[in-house]
Structure 1
Amino acid sequence: MGYTNKQQLLTEINKTAQLFIDEFSSIPESQKDVLVDGVDRTPSQMLAYQLGWLNLVKSWDDQELAGENPILPAPGYKWNRLGDLYHEFYKTYQSLSLQELILSFKQQIKIWNNWIESLSETTLFTKDDRNWTKPYPEAWTVAKFIHINSVAPFKSFRTKIRKWKKLHTAI
């Protein structure tokens, strides 16, 4: 993660988000729920995963600013059992078409841009500036949580969707 300022973080989020979402433009609606051997998620599940985390991470900050104490990762879920949370994400977004998922992703990135723009450099890069980051290791600032739940999975899931497309066309 080596960001030294907010603009670097925003630039990387937007770049990797665009590269990730562009991969879905060639997938037909009829194929959004197809699971292929060698890839652990369908295209719609990959998007639901991203949407779930984008909404969840921002909700931690929203809850704290509203005077609440957010429960991480989410009420009823533990860090060592995230598979159940992922299934909740899939269920939440399963009724959306591929185009609706893509649009929701783009809208959520805009929301994240506005949110990050509203945060000070201190809030982003100083450990414990937000209470919801305090229980975590020293390197886990708000910026680290943002990176781990945006840039990192955008890159790894771009690899997954590219593999899905390659294997799917080979069928």
Structure 2
Amino acid sequence: MAVPVNQDELLAAIITNFNKLKKELLSIPAELTSLKELEGHSKGTLMSIDNLVAYLLGWGELVLKWNYKKEHNEAVDFPETGYKWNELGKLAQKFYKDYEDDSFEELVVKLDNTVTSILALIKSKSNYDLYEIPWYEKWTLGRMIQFNTASPYTNARGRIRKWKKERDEKNQQWWIVILNADDAD
């Protein structure tokens, strides 16, 4: 999907990418969501599906926070208070911790609600507000929203699909070992 350049395209990208992601999420048995088997957001780390959803939730909440502060003429610490852009791995760990007590089902509901709020935010803005004026440094509001919603949803879906494929391959290998053991008897 091309990078959105207007309000309608941004809404469509978020809705499409989130719906595809949610379909993947809902196909995962809840008992597997806490297993740390996915490549993490920091090099050399592993994360769970729960962590991945917490990450998406954290970024979505930041988008809403940034907008709220800007609308109320408050200073915004980008990306988040106490974090710099070169510390996004640490910020990911913060998101994991922020939501560690939530069940997978609760995380998905919260992410759903955050996406709904972001869509409402986009609908409340004009195309001019979203794409025709700088909002943060050289970036427009629409681009900042896209960077932290539609794009990460696509990335997360890819991570989940890769994880599922690897799990399927491992399970097939186990069956081959079992079948070969049966043949040896």
Q: Which has the larger radius of gyration?
A: 2
Relative CO higher for 1 or 2, CA cutoff 8 Å, sep ≥ 6? 1
Question: In structure 1, how many angstroms separate the alpha carbons of the residues matched to 2:95 and 2:146?
Answer: 19
Give the percent of matched residue pairs that are identical in Structure 1 and Structure 2: 30
Q: Hey, what's the Cα distance between the residues in 2 that align with 1:89 and 1:150?
A: 15
Tell me what 2:75 maps to.
69
Structure 2: how far apart are the matches of 1:157 and 1:4?
22
Q: In the aligned structure 2, how far is the partner of 1:98 from the partner of 1:2? A: 30
Q: What's the TM-score, normalizing by structure 1?
A: 0.89
Where do residues 86-165 of structure 1 align in structure 2 (5 Å cutoff)? Answer: 86-128=92-134, 130=135, 133=136, 136=137, 138=138, 140-165=139-164
User: Residue type of the partner of 1:64?
Assistant: K
Q: Amino acid of the residue matched to residue 147 of structure 1? A: Q
Amino acid at match of 1:88: K
* Alpha-carbon contact 1:54-1:108 (below 8 Å) kept: yes
C-alpha deviation, 1:12, in angstroms: 1.0
Query: Would the aligned equivalents of 2:4 and 2:13 in 1 still touch at CA under 8 Å?
Result: no
**C-alpha distance in 1 between matches for 2:117 and 2:3:** 23
Correspondence for 2:65:
59
Q: CA RMSD in A?
A: 1.5
Partner of 1:31: 32
User: What is residue 168 of structure 1 aligned with on the other side?
Assistant: 167
Which whole-Å CA distance do the structure 2 matches of 1:79 and 1:158 have between them? 24
**More strand, by proportion:** 2
State the 1:73 CA deviation: 0.5
With the length of structure 2 as denominator, give the TM-score of the two structures: 0.83
Deviation at 1:102?
A: 1.0
Contact persistence 1:20–1:154 (CA under 8 A): yes
Unaligned runs of 5+ in 1: none
Take 1:80 and 1:20, find their aligned partners in 2: how far apart are those partners?
27
Number of positions where the alignment pairs a residue of Structure 1 with one of Structure 2? 163
**Structure 1 residues 29 and 3, CA, compared in 2 at 3 Å: closer, same or farther?**
closer
Equivalent position of 1:82 in the other structure: 88
Rounded Cα–Cα distance in structure 2 between residues aligned with 1:16 and 1:34:
24
Extract unaligned runs of 5+ from structure 2: 41-46, 172-185
Task: For residue 20 of structure 1, report the CA deviation from its aligned partner.
Answer: 0.8
